[in-house]
Amino acid sequence: MISAKDFLKYLSAGTLFGFVLMKSEVVSWFRIQEMFRFDAFHMYGIIGLAIVVGLISIQIIKRRNVKDLEGNIITIPPKDPKQVTRYIVGGSLFGLGWALLGACPGPMFALLGSGITIIIVPIVAALAGTYTYGALRSKLPH
Amino acid sequence: MFEFLTQPWPWYIAGPIVGLTVPMLLIMGGKMFGISENLRHVCASCNIGNVEFFNYDWKKNGAWNLTFVLGVIFGGFLGGYIFANPEPIQLATSTVNDLRELGITDFTGFVPAELFNWEVLGSGTGLIVLVLGGFLVGFGARYAGGCTSGHAISGLSDLQLASLIAVIGFFIGGLIMTWFIYPIIL
């Protein structure tokens, strides 16, 4: 299923990410409120700088045809921008949930690790939401 | 060192580390950073009702990402339990005042104790926040084809127009919830 080497690689990448989510308080329901109320720069600073660093890295990877550790040239599949409905409607529904719960998927899992067990309820609800989307997919406008 | 690990990190330290997750996963194995895809992998692992959207080899496609999430949980344990910051979060005064007016009184943890506890599930508000909130996150993320990590971080880093539209959607929904719906339900 997954080699021990891959397991350790992705486990450590996830651990670092989860740790930063906690230390930067991105997992905080209150920080999300602050963001959507435009009361603090904190969340915008984190997301903004993350994009800048991601953008520079991806440009370097693309221009230099960087290979991954398995020796394959890294390619990033483009997303179809013509499916405007799915991005606006789906995105807005996600945004409603993000602000309501005060957590998006990454923070949900990090909060679980920090010992807030009640977060299992929204995780199960998110699985139900994902399943419902899968079942209704052919009937929804994209 | 212990102090650095327990105290909160400013945005200019955390932002670049979050951003580095993108090239890290690309270099590790050509993987694109995106957390909510895992919710699909879990659905695919037990595909009740044989839904077409969940008919794919989730072990082949998703094992790396599910491992990543296992790491996120462990990172949450380290950052929020072992090296937990003993001080309450330094929030903007205006946010605290607005939330006090809505009836939030406990600002000590990562989540308001009034809304995040097992007893609250018996109340309408608790069900709305935890169950409907979680449901919309899962449904919306798959409908939009990604969440904050997949669209706002990975997609915008790759200058994808689709992700920009999705992120605009995230904010439409988030602002409506924060400014118009939350004041009604709290």
**Distance to chain A for B100, nearest Cα, Å:** 12
Decide if A45 contacts B104 (C-beta within 8 A).
Answer: no
The whole-model pTM stands at 0.96
Residue from B104, B25, B174, B120 nearest A95 by CA: B174
**Distance to chain A for B183, nearest Cα, Å:** 11
What is the reported pLDDT for B128?
A: 95
Contacts of B136 in chain A (CB under 8 A): 93-94, 96-97, 100-101, 129
Subunit contact A130:B30, Cβ cutoff 8 A: no
- From the list A28, A42, A121, the residue facing B110 with the nearest CB is A28
What is the reported pLDDT for A21?
A: 98
What is the reported pLDDT for B136?
A: 98
What is the reported pLDDT for B148?
A: 96
Q: What is the ipTM of this complex?
A: 0.96
The whole-angstrom separation of Cα A76 and Cα B158 is: 8
What is the reported pLDDT for A131?
A: 97
What is the reported pLDDT for B79?
A: 97
Helix axis angle for B11-29 and A4-23, nearest 10°, is 170
- From the list B16, B67, B149, the residue facing A49 with the nearest CB is B16
What is the reported pLDDT for B49?
A: 87
Subunit contact B14:A23, Cβ cutoff 8 A: yes
pLDDT lower than 70: segments of chain A = none
What are the sequence ranges of the domains in chain B? Answer: 1-84, 117-186
* Tens-level pLDDT at each residue, chain B (186 residues): 778 899 999 999 999 999 999 999 999 999 999 999 999 999 999 988 899 999 999 999 999 999 999 999 999 999 999 999 999 999 999 999 999 999 999 999 999 999 999 988 888 898 999 999 999 999 999 999 999 999 999 999 999 999 999 999 999 999 999 999 999 998
What is the reported pLDDT for B2?
A: 79
| Exposure letters B42-64 (e unless 16+ CB within 10 A, then b) | bbbeebeeebebbeeebeeebbb
- From the list A13, A18, A48, the residue facing B73 with the nearest CB is A18
The pair of structure tokens assigned to B47 is: 């595909």
pLDDT in tens, A12-23: 999 999 999 999
Subunit contact B64:A40, Cβ cutoff 8 A: no
Subunit contact B21:A134, Cβ cutoff 8 A: no
Question: What phi-psi label fits residue A40: left (phi over 0), alpha (psi between -120 and 50 degrees) or beta?
Answer: beta
What is the reported pLDDT for B177?
A: 98
- From the list A31, A36, A61, the residue facing B23 with the nearest CB is A61
**Distance to chain A for B57, nearest Cα, Å:** 11
User: A124 to chain B: nearest residue by CA?
Assistant: B134
In three-state secondary structure terms, B106 is coil
